[in-house]
Structure 1
Amino acid sequence: MLTIEKLNDFGADTAEGLGRCYGNEALYLRLVGMIPAEANFDKLQGALQSGDLDGAFEAAHALKGVLGNLSLTPMYQVCSEMTELLRVRTEMDYTPLLNELLTKRESLAALCAD
């Protein structure tokens, strides 16, 4: 079961995230629990694999907003870096950043499943 303590250990700024949810812990945990299934992870991965930097930027930017609003700092930092590189259409191998983001998503999913 997902808890504030587990999210703190994950590196989330739960005080900030809870503040955005007006202190409603149940709402915050429910929203965080939806993140592993967020469709933009798959859109980002697919766009990067096909070389669609515009599509990758849109997916990364959407993820950055969601992750930032929930203060999921470890994921937000990686996604933010990707977003800024994609914003200027940097041609590079995004695999290491994508893998880091997906690994963190898997870690979050495990916290939600426990």
Structure 2
Amino acid sequence: MEQLEIKQILSDAGADYNKGLERFMGNVALYHKFLLKFLDDTSFASFKESFAAGDLELAGKTVHTLKGTAGNLSLMRLYGAADEMVQAIRGGKSMVELEPLAKQVKEVYEETCNAIRTSLRA
């Protein structure tokens, strides 16, 4: 797949491709390598598990890690969803209030991962 196509797919999923590439000093292969490594990151799985168990302290830590990783890779839509969740947990929101945010994180995470798979895995 050509780089313009890859950029479009990732941008449609909320990535700031140019900013991400800039973070990797313009090294396309390295940026793509780290995007693929993101698919193996366990932060989201840990967040989902701890949130489902009602462990908001651990859920807050794991979604914060997810936020940081997303930010470093310029996956801005995921960064925003994770940040909103972090702030809500820190703000003491109830599980009922957090449920829609957790659902949003899940949806954006899945969309992001699908875009990475579609564009970078041949």
Q: TM above 0.5, one fold?
A: yes
Conserved 8 A contact 1:53-1:89: no
Deviations 1:8-31 (A, max 9, x none): 222211121111111111111221
Is residue 104 of structure 1 aligned with residue 98 of structure 2? no
Conserved 8 A contact 1:13-1:73: yes
Quick check: which has more Rg, 1 or 2?
2
Conserved 8 A contact 2:10-2:116: no
Normalised to the residue count of structure 1, the TM-score between the two structures is 0.86
CA separation in 2, counterparts of 1:27 and 1:6?
18
Determine which of 82, 87, 92 is the counterpart of 1:84: 87
CA separation in 2, counterparts of 1:61 and 1:52?
14
Which deviates the most, 72-81 or 31-40? 31-40
What amino acid is the match of 2:58? G
CA separation in 2, counterparts of 1:64 and 1:109?
14
Conserved 8 A contact 1:3-1:29: no
CA separation in 2, counterparts of 1:113 and 1:19?
21
Normalised to the residue count of structure 2, the TM-score between the two structures is 0.81
Where 1:37 maps in the other structure, the secondary structure is coil
Instruction: Note the residue ranges of structure 1 that are not aligned, 5 or more in a row.
Output: none
Which deviates the most, 26-35 or 37-46? 26-35
Could you list the structure 1 runs, at least 4 aligned residues long, displaced by more than 6 angstroms after superposition: none
Which deviates the most, 101-110 or 17-26? 101-110
Conserved 8 A contact 1:32-1:70: yes
Instruction: Note the residue ranges of structure 2 that are not aligned, 5 or more in a row.
Output: none
Conserved 8 A contact 1:40-1:62: yes
Deviations 1:29-72 (A, max 9, x none): 22122223321111111111111111011101111111111111
**Equivalent in the alignment of 1:25:** 28
Where 2:103 maps in the other structure, the secondary structure is helix
Where 2:21 maps in the other structure, the secondary structure is helix
**Equivalent in the alignment of 1:9:** 12
